[in-house]
Amino acid sequence: MQAPNEKVSQLSQLASVNELMDSSNVRLLRHMLNDLTPADIADQIESAPPKARRVLWDLVDTEFEGEVIGELSEELRGEILKEMKSHEVATLTEGLDPDDVADILQQLPEKVIPEVLQAMTTQDRQRVETVLTYDEDTAGGLMNTDTITVRPDMTLDVVLRYLRRHEEIPQTTDSLFVVNREDTFLGILPLSKLLTSSPNITVREITMTKVEAIPADMPDSEVARLFEKHNWVSAPVINEGNKLLGRITIDDVVDVIMDDADHSLLGLAGLSDEEETFASIRRTAPRRAIWLGVNLMTAILASAVINIFEATIDKVVALAILMPIVASMGGVAGSQTLTVVIRGMALGQVSRNNLRWLLSKEFAVGALNGMLWALVMGAVAALWFKDPMIAVIIAAAMMINLIAAALAGAALPVILKACKIDPALAGSVALTTITDVVGFLSFLGLATIVYG
């Protein structure tokens, strides 16, 4: 843990870097920048406008480049890698964990990857190739092959002497992995037990065998859920034959959780998770234009529904005043349900077994809130326009729309996922269309029946 004085010093360094970016003192800027941690250097680069990013990257010392590029966002990392030659990438990846190297290589053109691999040492190349055989969003793509294994028949004294022969052990090591001669995973030996047990006993005697190893093809989101559920610091990764392939550590899982959170947050606004604060206008405008276009089409559909009842609106002007209230209430109610369900799906809590109960629950919530606010709005409309029929119409329409919104908010994510469409990206747009159309149709349809 950093001391308060160290934190203050680091904050002042960050402030100094920001000030120097607007000056011409390149030498001092280079010194201040490289005096920061790799994570802080990456933050400075990502927080800079596009033109300044390249300048800052060129000022990073070669020895820090690998760690810094590993901290950058995927898109920015890809931009920098595109401008580098294969031998430069190979130099940059020296000393990085195989999973980090794999992430970097996956952003390079296919023809460049073999050149970079060829420039690596044999041991590093084999480790990276092991990770590259798996999709990047699986446990295999997330794992690190740098593990320490021991045999069950070894005594703890031998294990301790074996560990002392290492200059250092891999970061975030809380357990050693116990395997047989064929590298079949048998269990784990926690460091806490190793250090507190008698050195004369064997590994077998204190091995924890009831350990849930992670299959290499497990999705990374499921891996994150397991880490959260069991409070793991690290976990073994195995293949179909129960052979130990590597391990996943909590720092990699935090990255997955952050990526999923970014995806969900931006998705609810109809944006891709590649959206970046300081991305160029040329890249940002087209990405946003796509979903604005989709939203425009849905808005036209809602307007077309209103147009059907043009004669009724001309006859009763109050309808035009009250109409947005019905759609707005449905939109908010639906968004509440949609957000809760998408979150439940992300946590793995929503399945076929509980979907019917979830729909029943949301129907009941929608009906209760519908009755409450229908009565309130009905009373407001009656007092406002001195027309009891307007009150009945808006109350009934609001009741219908809030129930429809609750059901749509619960069902849409499941339906979209079944159709292999991202609920976070498409859910809010589809929901808005449903609540607008149902709201206008019910409100104006009832008004047409009453006043027609």
Are 241 and 109 in the same domain? no
**Within-domain flag for 262:** no
**Distance between the two ends of the chain, CA-based, in angstroms?**
74
Are 290 and 438 in the same domain? yes
Q: How confident is the model at residue 262 (pLDDT cuts 50, 70, 90)?
A: low
440 residue type, one letter? F
DSSP-assigned beta bridge partners for residue 187: 178
What percentage of the chain exceeds 70 in pLDDT?
88
The domain containing residue 345 runs over which residues? Answer: 281-451
Q: Which residues, in sequence order, are CB contacts of 382 under 8 Å at separation 6+?
A: 388, 390, 391
Q: How confident is the model at residue 406 (pLDDT cuts 50, 70, 90)?
A: very high
DSSP-assigned beta bridge partners for residue 178: 150, 187
Which of 109, 141, 173 is the last residue before a domain boundary?
141
By the 10 Å C-beta count (0-12 exposed, 13-18 middle, 19+ buried), 45 is classed as buried
Q: pLDDT for 48-60, tens place per residue? A: 777 777 888 888 8
Are 135 and 180 in the same domain? no
Tally of residues, the chain: 452
Alpha-carbon span 323 to 371, nearest angstrom = 18
Say if residue 23's pLDDT is above 60.
no
**Within-domain flag for 260:** no
Are 340 and 310 in the same domain? yes
What percentage of the chain exceeds 90 in pLDDT?
29
Are 134 and 173 in the same domain? no
Please state, as a whole number, how many other Cβ atoms lie within 10 Å of the Cβ of residue 299.
Answer: 13
Which range (75-79, 153-157, 169-173, 244-248) has the least confidence?
75-79
Alpha-carbon span 208 to 226, nearest angstrom = 18
**Within-domain flag for 265:** no
Q: How confident is the model at residue 194 (pLDDT cuts 50, 70, 90)?
A: very high
Q: Taking a C-beta distance cutoff of 8 angstroms, is the pair 399, 329 a contact?
A: no
Which range (139-143, 300-304, 368-372, 420-424) has the least confidence?
420-424
SS3 for 189? strand
Q: What secondary structure letter does DSSP report for 316?
A: -
DSSP assignments along 148-186, one per residue? -EE-TTSBHHHHHHHHHTSS-PPTT--EEEEE-TT-BEE
Q: Taking a C-beta distance cutoff of 8 angstroms, is the pair 400, 438 a contact?
A: yes
Are 171 and 78 in the same domain? no
Please state, as a whole number, how many other Cβ atoms lie within 10 Å of the Cβ of residue 85.
Answer: 11
DSSP assignments along 371-413, one per residue? HHHHHHHHHHHHHHHS-HHHHHHHHHHHHHHHHHHHHHHHHHH
Which of 125, 141, 157 is the last residue before a domain boundary?
141
Distance of CA 177 to the CA centre of its chain: 29
Alpha-carbon span 104 to 120, nearest angstrom = 14
φ/ψ (deg, to 5) at 207: -70, 135
By the 10 Å C-beta count (0-12 exposed, 13-18 middle, 19+ buried), 154 is classed as middle
**Within-domain flag for 364:** yes
Q: pLDDT for 1-20, tens place per residue? A: 445 444 444 445 555 555 55
The reported pLDDT for the residue numbered 70 is 80
Alpha-carbon span 355 to 413, nearest angstrom = 11
Judging by DSSP bridges, how do beta strands 185-190 and 214-215 pair with one another? unpaired
Are 324 and 436 in the same domain? yes
Alpha-carbon span 76 to 68, nearest angstrom = 11
φ/ψ (deg, to 5) at 172: 60, 35
pTM for this model (two decimals) = 0.61
Are 51 and 189 in the same domain? no
CATH number of the domain to which 385 belongs:
1.10.357.20
Are 52 and 160 in the same domain? no
Give me the chain's average pLDDT, please: 83
Which range (46-50, 144-148, 234-238, 354-358) has the least confidence?
46-50
Q: pLDDT for 423-446, tens place per residue? A: 877 788 889 899 999 999 999 999
Report how many domains make up the chain.
3
Report the pLDDT averaged over residues 99-118.
76
Q: Taking a C-beta distance cutoff of 8 angstroms, is the pair 325, 394 a contact?
A: yes
The reported pLDDT for the residue numbered 401 is 93
Report the pLDDT averaged over residues 293-310.
83
The reported pLDDT for the residue numbered 40 is 87
Give the helix/strand (H/E) hosting 37.
none
**Within-domain flag for 415:** yes
Are 431 and 297 in the same domain? yes
Query: Among all chains, which residue has been given the structure tokens 């979209």?
Result: 416
Please state, as a whole number, how many other Cβ atoms lie within 10 Å of the Cβ of residue 342.
Answer: 24
Number of alpha carbons in the 13 Å side-chain half-sphere of residue 451? 23
Alpha-carbon span 264 to 112, nearest angstrom = 33
Spell 170-194 as b/e; 16+ CB within 10 A means b. Answer: eeebebbbbbeeeeebbbbbbeebb
CATH number of the domain to which 120 belongs:
1.25.60.10
**Within-domain flag for 386:** yes
Spell 214-224 as b/e; 16+ CB within 10 A means b. Answer: bbbebebbebb
Are 170 and 95 in the same domain? no
Which of 88, 108, 141 is the last residue before a domain boundary?
141
Alpha-carbon span 215 to 236, nearest angstrom = 9
Are 189 and 285 in the same domain? no
Spell 46-55 as b/e; 16+ CB within 10 A means b. Answer: bbbeeeebee
Say if residue 372's pLDDT is above 90.
yes
**Within-domain flag for 258:** no
CATH number of the domain to which 184 belongs:
3.10.580.10
**Within-domain flag for 423:** yes
